[in-house]
Amino acid sequence: MRFFNTFQCFSLLATSLALSPPEKRDWVYERRDTAILPRGWKQVAPAPDSMLIKLRIALPQSRFDELENHLYEVSDPSHGRYGQHLSMEEVHELISPIPEHVDSAKNWLSAHGLTDLVFAPASDWIHVTLPIRKAEELLETTYHIFEHEQTGDRLIRTLEYSLPKWLDGAVELIQPTTSFALYKAARSTVNWPPDSDSTEAESKFATAGDDAPASCNFKDVTVECLADLYKFADYTPSAKVANSIGITGYLDEYANRDDLEIFYKDQKPEASGSQYTYYSVSGGLNNQTNGTAGVEANLDTQWAYAISYPANQTFWSTGGSPPFIPSELTPDNTNEPYADWLDFVLSKRTVPYVISTSYGDEEQTVPRDYAIRVCKQMAQLAARGVSLLFSSGDGGVGDGDPDPETQQCHVIGTNRTTFLPSFPNSCPYVTNVGATYSYPEVAVSRYYSGGGFSDYFPIPSYQKDAVEAYVKALPKGLYKGLYNPKGRAYPDVSAQGDYYRVWYNTNKVHVGGTSASSPAFAGIVALLNDVRLQAGKPPLGFLNPLIYKLKGNGFNDVTVGNAAGCGTIGFNATEGWDPVTGYGTPDFSLLKELVV
């Protein structure tokens, strides 16, 4: 498929119309973005002049609306183009900026002596590394070191920046500038349960019903248990169909191969000896030294790979964690790890069919225009047939605290209470996985499964009916002003999310969190892709239009539980879709018939 049209003629004409900048002394600047310092952060000191920072300069994507139309057509099971995913080249053609904008940005940077530029494959991003002093001159701003008062983490940021007025329309945004999101361990969705023999553990867990699978002990969840619970135990995937799955790793989280092998021997003997493919992104490491394993990385890889075996397996280790303390030995402020990973994977012609990620942060800490732009990058992957799954978080509607006296959910810069949706969960092009436990399944309650409504992204058409029906059924005025009832709502689905058996530094431990739910669900999606591939069909790709078209068919509805937080009990689970468990947990025996 090719997308050449009259746009190309316009592009050729635009090349001759590229803006030549006025004399630098005549430049007039206008403010492009401002931020209020989020709660918990304090300004420590000016950033060192000579420290290096890598700026990402986003140029407008010329035809993103067309890309989005293609995405929804190839992801809609009732459309004639269902499954006809785009190639990398076709996606790049749709998002490439017009030459006028590229030339204007290059002229601007060149006027500051910046010519060592790195362009994304579609030329929609420019990366340039420069000293803080030069960045401040470029953006008419001042960078500072900011410290998080609770964790001690540090970022190099500014609260505002400006651009020459003549550049208007040619540059969409620049980061890192005003974004204070931390994709950090405390914000990853791993959640350690108490000792399984403790009274506390006993009191917090419902007793499983008599009809629970015999293989299931819900304080020691195994692959065999999920296989019986979600009915994929009798399915045999093929090693001949080039199926694939990927796991993202950040923040010095290392997936330990020895632990994985122990897990396989314990949980999936037929996978023993199999290996995943490792990629380092932006200096990400692969430390296999005893004692350096990351529980997040181990949880994700062990469960996703075991369930999906024998699919081809990928693990990306991305360096550049946001917590940053400048020193002479580490002068390069590479602190946008998720953006680094997106840049890397979008440049590859072949990408795993399903990818699970267990990191995120408060939506309001990410500038709206930057969140939208990152979300558009995820749309590019989705259009290419990749299913992007995210754990929905462990804080219910915000901080997971139902006590009005101690809750910490506030609009940045104010004392006004608000529910706190998460990003990238709020992006409409990803599938969010909430957490359940026990049997019959209920929403997890040792922590609260993340759910809510975006303040940035409107309800996408695929979930409009389901979300509006849920909101309409709420008591009149409930939580008015605390959430945006017209926002993209999540989660979309759920899976068991507590007491997963994991091998960590050669020891058996139990781990909970939606960080467990997402890789497990991703493994099941990989099995569904196997069904389609064996039938000669393409992989599922972007899942949400299919999920919402099914209206709960193929899923086990979860109707008990809530997502507390922000001084409230939060939203309740109910029949059908809800912002606690989505449409519920998968029934593979039904879904494998529905997806073909």
What does the block give as tokens for 410?
A: 């506030």
Query: Residue 12 to residues 2, 16, 475, 583: CA-CA distances in angstroms?
Result: 18, 7, 57, 48
User: What does the alpha-carbon distance between residue 414 and residue 411 come to, in Å, rounded to a whole number?
Assistant: 6
**Choice among 76, 124, 296, 363 that is catalytic:** 296
Secondary element (H or E) of residue 332: strand 332-333
Give the E-state strand segments of 438-482 in sequence order. Answer: 442-443, 452-458
Sheet with 154-157, side-by-side order of all strands:
41-46, 144-148, 154-157
Told to judge if 196 belongs to the known catalytic residues of this protein, a careful annotator would answer no
Q: Which residues pair with 291 in a beta bridge?
A: none
Active site residue 238: no
The helix-helix angle for 295-308 and 514-534 (nearest 10°) equals 30
Q: Using CA of residue 104, residue 105, residue 106, residue 111, what is the dihedral sign? A: positive
Q: In sequence order, what are the residues at sequence separation of 6 or more whose Cβ sits closer than 8 angstroms to the Cβ of residue 147?
A: 41, 42, 44, 153, 154
Residue of 33, 68, 300, 361 marked catalytic? 300
Cα 191 to Cα 148, 499, 516: the distances in Å are: 22, 9, 9
| DSSP β-ladder status, 118-119 and 52-58 | unpaired
Token reading at 433:
């996985």
Q: Whole-angstrom Cα distance, residue 471 to residue 488? A: 12
Query: Is 391 in contact with 514 (CB distance < 8 Å)?
Result: yes
Token pair of 141, please? 């701003």
Collapse the DSSP code of 144 into the 3-class scheme (helix H, G, I; strand E, B; otherwise coil) and give the result: strand
Is-catalytic flag, 261?
Answer: no
DSSP assigned state of 431 = E
Please identify which of the residues 179, 515, 517, 518 carries the catalytic annotation. 515
The Cβ of residue 16 has, within 10 Å, a number of other Cβ atoms equal to 9
Catalytic residues: 296, 300, 515
